[in-house]
């Protein structure tokens, strides 16, 4: 599915015109995001159902995602770096769409994943405290020396607890009383769930380095999930990454932002992928 077909950024000439005509103040050390993408001579991106921005730190791939997301008014959770020149820069950007951008569209960043895992940890810590109280409650309700007699409707909830304690093991009792609201996941599982739970049908998604905190196996699962979402569920993706598993995604259009000018490349031509390829070729005999 294609919603966004093209996005344009101001080139060096347009940026110079802005500084000459409108910037009167000289006390700023940075005019971010001016000067970032123009240094890569990146003036326009044309999109496919899956488009990938490749590049190392400082290449501008995250800046490009944030600019696109802000210009389109996409939903986001985590804050991001801005400057007082951000609005001026966005005013000089433009885009073309094939269909209106769905309101469910959003940007998902590494900071979103980090915040999600912190929230999950806080929930689990609260559940841990509740679990300790339920252990004591279980022992009390199960103890035959502490008989319970049902007298009024006010005792009904306690009756249910006593019956549950006498028919369940301690772990079964505690899990039932917690209503299964404890999510016991590794960081990698939590990161994977953070992305997949936010991606719904028929929307545009901007993903910033989704491979962070994911094992190679999980990266491959996420790659398949993205491919299926784009092919069968009406989604479009723009992804900033240097993961070889995501870069190998079938049919993805890849822009190399490490090159000047930034240009399209096959995933097998990218330096990071070639480094992996050369490394494993050097050690091929050790896999026999």
pLDDT digits (tens, 9 = 90+) for 55-113: 988 899 999 999 999 999 999 886 666 778 899 999 999 999 999 999 999 999 877 77
Distance CA 52, CA 249 (A): 9
In angstroms and rounded to an integer, the radius of gyration of the C-alpha atoms of the chain is: 26
How far from 235 is each of 121, 204, 230, CA to CA, in Å?
30, 6, 5
Question: What is the model's pLDDT at position 91?
Answer: 94
Give mean pLDDT, residues 204-209. 95
Tell me where in the chain the CATH 3.40.50 domain(s) lie. Answer: 4-110+200-287
Q: Which long-range contacts (CB under 8 A, 24 or more apart) does 220-227 make?
A: 220/245, 221/192, 222/192, 222/195, 222/196, 222/246, 223/248, 223/249, 225/195, 225/196, 225/199, 226/50, 227/50, 227/251
Look at residue 10 and tell me whether its pLDDT is greater than 50. Answer: yes
Whole-number percent of the chain with pLDDT over 90: 51
Confidence of residue 123 (pLDDT cuts 50, 70, 90): very low
Burial of 181 (0-12, 13-18, 19+ CB in 10 A): exposed
The topology (CATH level 3) of 4-110+200-287 is: Rossmann fold (3.40.50)
Q: pTM for this structure?
A: 0.75
Higher local confidence (pLDDT), 60 or 172: 60
pLDDT of residue 193: 79
**Which of the two residues, 80 and 193, has the higher pLDDT score?**
193
Q: Using DSSP bridges, classify how beta strands 263-264 and 236-240 pair: parallel, antiparallel or unpaired.
A: unpaired
Half-sphere exposure of 57 (CA within 13 A, CB side): 0
pLDDT value for 181: 44
Calculate the average pLDDT of the chain.
Answer: 81
């Amino acid at each position: 599915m294609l919603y966004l077909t093209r996005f344009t950024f101001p080139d060096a000439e347009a940026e110079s015109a802005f500084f000459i005509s409108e910037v009167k103040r000289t006390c700023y050390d940075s005019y971010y995001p001016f000067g970032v993408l123009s240094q890569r001579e990146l003036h326009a991106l044309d999109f496919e159902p899956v488009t990938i921005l490749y590049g190392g730190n400082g290449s501008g791939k995250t800046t490009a995602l944030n600019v696109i997301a802000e210009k389109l008014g996409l939903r986001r959770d985590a804050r991001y770096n801005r400057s007082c020149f951000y609005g001026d820069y966005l005013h000089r950007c433009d885009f073309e769409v094939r269909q209106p951008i769905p309101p469910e569209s959003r940007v998902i960043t590494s900071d979103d994943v980090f915040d999600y895992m912190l929230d999950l940890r806080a929930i689990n810590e609260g559940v841990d405290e509740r679990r300790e109280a339920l252990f004591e409650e279980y022992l009390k309700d199960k103890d035959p020396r502490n008989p319970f007699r049902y007298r009024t409707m006010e005792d009904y909830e306690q009756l249910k607890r006593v019956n549950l304690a006498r028919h369940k093991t301690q772990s079964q009792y505690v899990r039932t009383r917690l209503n299964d609201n404890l999510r016991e996941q590794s960081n990698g599982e939590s990161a994977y769930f953070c992305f997949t739970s936010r991606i719904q049908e028929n929307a545009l998604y901007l993903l910033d380095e989704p491979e962070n905190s994911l094992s190679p196996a999980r990266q491959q699962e996420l790659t398949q999930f993205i491919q299926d979402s784009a092919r069968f569920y009406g989604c479009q993706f723009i992804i900033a990454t240097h993961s070889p598993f995501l870069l190998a995604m079938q049919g993805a259009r890849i822009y190399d932002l490490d090159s000047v000018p930034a240009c399209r490349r096959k995933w097998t031509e990218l330096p990071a992928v070639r480094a992996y390829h050369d490394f494993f070729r050097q050690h091929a005999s050790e896999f026999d």
